[in-house]
Structure 1
C-alpha cells in the first residue's frame, strides 16, 4: 500500500511539472522586457486620431534616433506606439518593439516595459484584421474607443519628460539584460527537464520491482 501511495504522489508531481512546462509557469522573468522603452514612456491626455496627428507625434517622439542603439529588436521594429496601459487606467506614448496581434487590441505594460496583446478585447467584429502590427492599432475603431474611454480622465504625469525626449542610460551595457534572461530561462528549463526525467526513471524502477 505504501508503494502504491508513493507511486500516486510521483504521478501527481510529474503531471504538475509537465503542466508548468506546457503553460509557461516556470518562468520568473519576462523575456520580452525592453528597458530601452522605459525612458521613452510618457503618459498623455490623448492619442493621435488622424494620420496628420500620428505623423506629428512620431516626429516628436523620434524613436528612430535610438532605434539603432537599443537591443530589444531590429531597428525598424522599434517604433512609436500610443496605447492604453494593460490596466486601462493610463495612456502611454512609448518607443517599443512592434508585435503582431491576432485580432485583439494592444496595451502597454509599464511594469514589464513591453507591448502586450489585450486578449479580453477582441476587435475582429469591428473590422480589425486577423493579423496586424501593434504600430497600426490606431487604425481600428474598437481599439480607438478603448483609448477614448481612458482619455476621459486627466492622467498626464507631471514627472513625464516632454515628447521627443528620450534617455540613453540603458545603452551602457547593451545585450546584458537579454543574455541574462536567456541564460536563466535555459537553466530553469534544464532543471525542470531533469526533474521530469528523474521522476519517470524512478517510477519505472518502482514498477519493475
Structure 2
C-alpha cells in the first residue's frame, strides 16, 4: 500500500507540473506588441531585447532559451511588431510577422537580394537589423495585396476566436497529459495487483502443502 500511495503522489506531482507548464507558457501572439519602428542597429536591437526580456517572458516554456527577440513588419508593410520567437533562417527574403499565423516567416513577395543594400541568401531572423532595406517598406500598401492568399492575410489585432482557439489547444494538451498519466498509473496498478494475487496464491499453496 505504501508503494501505491507513493506512486500516486508522484503522478499528481508530475501532472500538476505539466499542466502548469502548458497553461503558463505564452504563445507568440501573447508576446507580440506594436512599436513605432524596429531597431536600426545591433546596439538598438540588443537594447530592445533587454527591455523585452524574452527569457523571463518564456520562463515556463520547454524551449525557453530558444525564444529570442524579433522585430518585423507585418504582411501589409504598415505595422512594426516586436515579439519573442524561436530563431529561423530567412532565405534571401525579408522577414515578416504573420499575425494570423502567429509566426515569423519569409516574405516571399520581398526578395531582399535585389534591394539596396541587399541581404545575404541566408541569414538569421535574430540578425534582421543588418538589412534595413527590408524595414524601409512603403507603409501605404503600395504592393498588390490581392496576390496574398486568404491564409496570409490577417487582422492587426488578435481576435477573440484566436484566443479561444489557443485556450482550447491548451485544454486539449492538458487532457492528453491526464489521459497518458492515467494509462500509465492504471497499468502499473494492475501489475501490482496481479503480482499480489500471484504472491497470495503461492503462499496459499505452500500453506496447504505444510498442512497435508
TM-score (norm 1): 0.51
Gap change, CA 1:103 and 1:56, over 3 Å in 2: same
- Contact 2:42/2:130, CA 8 A, preserved across alignment: no
- Give the conservation status (yes or no) of the 8 Å contact 1:86–1:116: no
| Corresponding residue for residue 123 of structure 1 | 112
Deviation at 1:84, TM superposition (A): 0.5
Cα distance in structure 2, aligned partners of 1:108 and 1:97: 12
Find the residue that maps to 1:124 and give its secondary structure: coil
Deviations 1:95-144 (A, max 9, x none): 11221111100100111211111001111233311111111111113213
Structure 1 residues 150 and 175: CA distance shift in structure 2, 3 A: farther
Q: Which of structure 1's runs of 4+ aligned residues deviate more than 3 A?
A: 172-175
Q: Does 1:70 align with 2:61?
A: yes
How many angstroms does 1:174 deviate by? Answer: 9.2
Alignment partner, residue 15 of structure 1? none
- For residues 122 and 128 of structure 1, do their structure 2 counterparts lie closer, same or farther at Cα, with a shift above 3 Å needed? same
Q: How does 1:92-111 map to 2 (within 5 A)?
A: 92-111=81-100
Contact kept? 1:88, 1:150, Cα under 8 Å: yes
Structure 1 residue 50: deviation in Å?
2.2
Q: How many residues align?
A: 125
Asked if 1:83 corresponds to 2:72, the answer is yes
> Aligned partners of 1:78 and 1:51: how far apart in 2?
18
Aligned partners of 2:59, 2:172: CA distance in 1, in Å? 13
Corresponding residue SS for 2:129: helix
Distance 2:52 2:172 in 1: 24
The separation in 1 between residues aligned to 2:106 and 2:41, in whole angstroms, is: 23
CA contact (8 A) 2:42 2:129 kept: no
> C-alpha separation between the residues in 2 aligned to 1:113 and 1:79?
15
1:1-209 equivalences under 5 Å are 36-71=27-62, 74-125=63-114, 126-146=117-137, 149-150=138-139, 173=170, 176=173
RMSD: 3.2
Q: Secondary structure at the match of 2:108?
A: strand
CA distance in 2, matches of 1:127, 1:55: 22
Asked if 1 retains the 8 angstrom alpha-carbon contact of 2:73 and 2:135, the reply is: no
Q: Which has the larger radius of gyration?
A: 2
Distance change in 2, residues 1:38/1:101 (3 Å): same
| Structure 2 residues not aligned, in runs of 5+ | 1-24, 141-156, 158-165, 177-212
Distance, in Å, in 1 between the alignment partners of 2:56 and 2:88 is 20
Distance change (3 Å), C-alpha of 1:76 and 1:43: same
